[in-house]
Structure 1
Amino acid sequence: MDDLCEANGSFAISLLKILGEEDKSRNLFFCPMSVSSALAMVYLGAKGNTATQMSQVLGLSGDGDVHQGFQTLLAEVNKSGTQYLLKSACRLFGEESCDFLSTFKESCQKFYQAGIEEMSFVKDTEGCRKRINDWVLEKTEGKISEVLSPGTVCPLTKLVLVNAMYFKGKWKAQFDRKYTRGMPFKTNQEEKKTVQMMFKHAKFKMAHVDEVNAQVLALPYAEDELSMVVLLPDESSDLTVVEKALTYEKLRAWTNPETLTESKVQVFFPRLKLEESYDLETVLQSLGMTDAFEETKADFSGMTSKKNVPVSKVAHKCFVEVNEEGTEAAATTAVIRNTRSCRIEPS
């Protein structure tokens, strides 16, 4: 599973760097594991050069069983008996008139616990869209209401592969609300904005990364099993310096628990609530996953006998709220395959 974690981590950094270039003024927040889990189910049915490109983009090695790795990872995510709630769910929504290969359906169920729900996009497109959105709403505890906007599915839709993730955890040492107040927050070297800033004076594990002039802070959740890791550039540095230098290997080294030392510090942290949506088609194509989106080149013969049904859309939506008690977050990714592009007809 270590190889898979490295692959997912490297894929996350690749997404971070490309999405960060698209609009430098917006907050950047996404869930790479949701994206990789959804794409891994697509990869399960990919063959030929389509599979090769997907493997390279996702950083998946030919050594070992990739899907067995995802099975183990998802089982770890969904384990019970913790003081936090973390869960991941996968589902296939397929056009009832399509004959999906039994091997594909069985493998999705075995490795991703993803059953297939048959529906008629041909007869009731809007009903299918609503059903998928309702499933996501349920799996994200009501935090994400519409991953599929109007027009994203149509009568030509053959399959929608969906992952949904949810997390809720309380801080090991909660912030006291009476200390929360409006304070300036530096968004870059030139600009500041006033935010509701939480405060705590306590012992936390920290480190300093001389390479990028930044501090590392670990904010543990209850039981100490999970932590939020924060990278904060020094006053003399800038976030872009950290972003440019960042690789998965460096992130692992900078945040290695063995290099963090406990110190009593004053922590000021913004109370925040973010919701972000992304269409990832161009991002994935820029990383090298091109054949999957082209009807003449897509090879998904591991799903159905009709192999040239391309991916038409990869929609990602996420939510996070950080407050004095802890963190609540949700994310979903939907990969849509149509025989041709859906078009919204003018009314």
Structure 2
Amino acid sequence: MKRSVSDVLCSKMASSFYGVLFAVSLCAPIYCVAPANAPSRYTQPSSTKSIPASQVYSLNTDFAFHLYHRLILETPSQNVFFSPMSVSTSLAMLSLGAHSVTKTQILQGLGFNLTHTPESAIHQGFQRLVHSLTVPSKNLTLKMGSALFVKKELQLQANFLHNVKRLYEAEVFSTDFSNPSIAQARINSHVEKKTQGKVVDIIQGLDLLTAMVLVNHIFFKAKWEKPFYPEYTRKSFPFLVGNQATVHVPMMHQKEQFAFGVDAELNCFVLQMDYRGDAVAFFVLPGKGKMRQLEQTLSARTLRKWSRSLQKRWIEVFIPKFSISASYSLEAILPKMGIQNAFDKNADFSGITKRDSLQVSKATHKAVLDVSEEGTEATAATATKFIVRSKDGPSYFTVSFNRTFLMMITNKAIDSIFFLGKVENPTKP
């Protein structure tokens, strides 16, 4: 029996302050030496303890949806795509050098209750997170890294330098900021290389007050466990943008067994598509006019409910082939999430350097996402072919992602969101 979706769901800073430019970049093409004796306040975590790590993963998911809600307010009716993991890791690393209210605001903004969770446990959790993303895999490429570009005259606190290297595996580069354009080119070249050419020109408009640039980058590419067969991609398929406008997009198509569910309470379809390896994509399609209702309920609890309740069944699925990107000025958004002092003259980053006053002048996040039929290479051969089921074969749902939908990329092993987005218009890069 064939059922359709409609069948089921009808500044200029004060001269006494130097700027810290905090930039996070990521790329997700889905064609689908620390001083030996430096002091440290954070002890090496025991391999048998996983509570700090699991708490970081869960709070990272709630932070993801909290930040998502801010982004959709700032950019209504636009595509949204970002890496909450990249942003939260950068903020946690920045907190290593923060003191007093500045530190408290950053960690509480990430969702931590400092009464119940010691700061050392937070950084141990992030340490495990960062380490888990550096384990090589033949099935997918997932690389996250951090880099500090530091004004060569700036003397960093040994404790801060040691901890960002040991806990966050960050690279540190002495940089001449007296020529902002050369410094900018060096940083952008580093990010472009780390993201295999996908994220370019993330840093713009450096000035002579810049003292440090913190960059976090994520590069992800993976192949679908059950790829789409390119010959069955429809070249022009209507996609509803907003309430009335229609654009035409290439629409991928296949019939297969996927984990799938109908959330009657939230009035949405949830489709899980696995990548080779531990990565998983969730596509969430709300009923018409129900996106805002769905967005208001997004939480770590909601995602856990979906993960546990989806069941494998035959699905005929239509998903757009698309490429989108997004850039955000987080210095305008994070203060609205309680992280205020870091961006004004009240900033206390004396844990980074005592000689100079620092504040974050700009926080930039840039994201790129490509979704296509097979995997990392669009022309790659695949052993899995599209098979047209006979009419007397198994019954199946038909799910067409032909209007605004959500997409999340998570990891089975660490249960945390790598990427989160909303596709409003797949024709807008």
TM-score normalized with structure 1 length: 0.89
Q: Please state whether the residue corresponding to 1:4 is helix, strand or coil.
A: helix
Deviation at 1:251, TM superposition (A): 2.3
Match of 1:134 among 189, 193, 197: 189
Looking at structure 2, the residues matched to 188 and 315 of structure 1 have their Cα atoms a distance apart, in angstroms, of 28
Match of 2:148 among 72, 76, 92: 92
Structure 1 window deviating more from structure 2 (180-189 vs 213-222): it is 180-189
Looking at structure 1, the residues matched to 310 and 347 of structure 2 have their Cα atoms a distance apart, in angstroms, of 47
Looking at structure 2, the residues matched to 128 and 84 of structure 1 have their Cα atoms a distance apart, in angstroms, of 33
Looking at structure 2, the residues matched to 248 and 307 of structure 1 have their Cα atoms a distance apart, in angstroms, of 40
Tell me the residue number matched to 2:265. Answer: 211
Deviation at 1:228, TM superposition (A): 0.6
Tell me the residue number matched to 2:229. Answer: 176
Looking at structure 2, the residues matched to 44 and 290 of structure 1 have their Cα atoms a distance apart, in angstroms, of 17
Tell me the residue number matched to 1:278. Answer: 328
Alignment of 1:242 onto 2:294? yes
Deviation string, structure 1 residues 126-174 (Cα, Å, up to 9, x no partner)? 111111001101110111111002x1x2221111111010000000111
Match of 2:128 among 69, 72, 78: 72
Q: Is the CA contact 1:220–1:227 (under 8 Å) kept in the aligned structure 2?
A: yes
Tell me the residue number matched to 1:165. Answer: 218
Deviation at 1:308, TM superposition (A): 3.2
Q: Is the CA contact 1:298–1:307 (under 8 Å) kept in the aligned structure 2?
A: no
Tell me the residue number matched to 1:104. Answer: 160
Structure 1 window deviating more from structure 2 (178-187 vs 159-168): it is 178-187
Looking at structure 2, the residues matched to 203 and 243 of structure 1 have their Cα atoms a distance apart, in angstroms, of 27
Tell me the residue number matched to 1:336. Answer: none
Q: Please state whether the residue corresponding to 1:81 is helix, strand or coil.
A: coil
Tell me the residue number matched to 2:247. Answer: 193
- Count how many residue pairs are aligned between Structure 1 and Structure 2: 323
Q: Is the CA contact 1:204–1:265 (under 8 Å) kept in the aligned structure 2?
A: yes
Q: Please state whether the residue corresponding to 2:333 is helix, strand or coil.
A: helix
Q: Please state whether the residue corresponding to 1:200 is helix, strand or coil.
A: strand
Alignment of 1:39 onto 2:105? no
Tell me the residue number matched to 1:253. Answer: 305
Deviation at 1:323, TM superposition (A): 0.2
Q: Please state whether the residue corresponding to 1:148 is helix, strand or coil.
A: coil
Structure 1 window deviating more from structure 2 (207-216 vs 91-100): it is 207-216
Alignment of 1:294 onto 2:349? no
Q: Is the CA contact 1:43–1:54 (under 8 Å) kept in the aligned structure 2?
A: yes
Q: Is the CA contact 1:189–1:238 (under 8 Å) kept in the aligned structure 2?
A: no
Deviation at 1:207, TM superposition (A): 1.1
Looking at structure 2, the residues matched to 21 and 306 of structure 1 have their Cα atoms a distance apart, in angstroms, of 39
Match of 2:112 among 49, 60, 81: 60
Deviation at 1:60, TM superposition (A): 2.5
Match of 1:220 among 247, 255, 274: 274
Looking at structure 1, the residues matched to 77 and 67 of structure 2 have their Cα atoms a distance apart, in angstroms, of 17
Structure-to-structure mapping, 1:15-54, within 5 angstroms: 15-54=67-106
Relative contact order higher in (CA < 8 Å, ≥ 6 apart): 2
Deviation at 1:191, TM superposition (A): 3.5
**More helix per residue:** 1
Q: Is the CA contact 2:259–2:310 (under 8 Å) kept in the aligned structure 1?
A: yes
Match of 1:119 among 170, 175, 187: 175
Q: Is the CA contact 1:171–1:221 (under 8 Å) kept in the aligned structure 2?
A: yes
Tell me the residue number matched to 1:232. Answer: 285
Match of 2:367 among 307, 318, 332: 318
Match of 1:265 among 310, 315, 326: 315
The one-letter amino acid paired with 2:263 is: V
Looking at structure 2, the residues matched to 101 and 286 of structure 1 have their Cα atoms a distance apart, in angstroms, of 30
Deviation at 1:185, TM superposition (A): 1.6
Q: Is the CA contact 2:77–2:242 (under 8 Å) kept in the aligned structure 1?
A: no
Q: Please state whether the residue corresponding to 1:15 is helix, strand or coil.
A: helix
The gaps in structure 1 that reach 5 residues or longer are: 333-347
Looking at structure 1, the residues matched to 84 and 269 of structure 2 have their Cα atoms a distance apart, in angstroms, of 23
Q: Is the CA contact 2:237–2:249 (under 8 Å) kept in the aligned structure 1?
A: yes
Deviation at 1:327, TM superposition (A): 6.4
Q: Is the CA contact 1:174–1:325 (under 8 Å) kept in the aligned structure 2?
A: yes
Q: Please state whether the residue corresponding to 2:109 is helix, strand or coil.
A: helix
Alignment of 1:144 onto 2:202? no
Q: Please state whether the residue corresponding to 2:358 is helix, strand or coil.
A: coil
Deviation at 1:14, TM superposition (A): 1.0
Looking at structure 2, the residues matched to 114 and 67 of structure 1 have their Cα atoms a distance apart, in angstroms, of 14
Looking at structure 2, the residues matched to 245 and 190 of structure 1 have their Cα atoms a distance apart, in angstroms, of 25
Structure 1 window deviating more from structure 2 (37-46 vs 187-196): it is 187-196
Larger radius of gyration: 2
The one-letter amino acid paired with 2:298 is: L
Looking at structure 2, the residues matched to 307 and 34 of structure 1 have their Cα atoms a distance apart, in angstroms, of 27
The one-letter amino acid paired with 1:20 is: I
Looking at structure 2, the residues matched to 51 and 327 of structure 1 have their Cα atoms a distance apart, in angstroms, of 40
RMSD in angstroms over aligned alpha carbons? Answer: 1.8
Q: Is the CA contact 1:272–1:321 (under 8 Å) kept in the aligned structure 2?
A: yes
The one-letter amino acid paired with 1:267 is: V
**Could you say if the C-alpha distance between residues 191 and 244 of structure 1 is closer, same or farther in structure 2, counting changes exceeding 3 Å?**
farther
TM-score normalized with structure 2 length: 0.72
The gaps in structure 2 that reach 5 residues or longer are: 1-52, 378-408, 410-417, 420-429
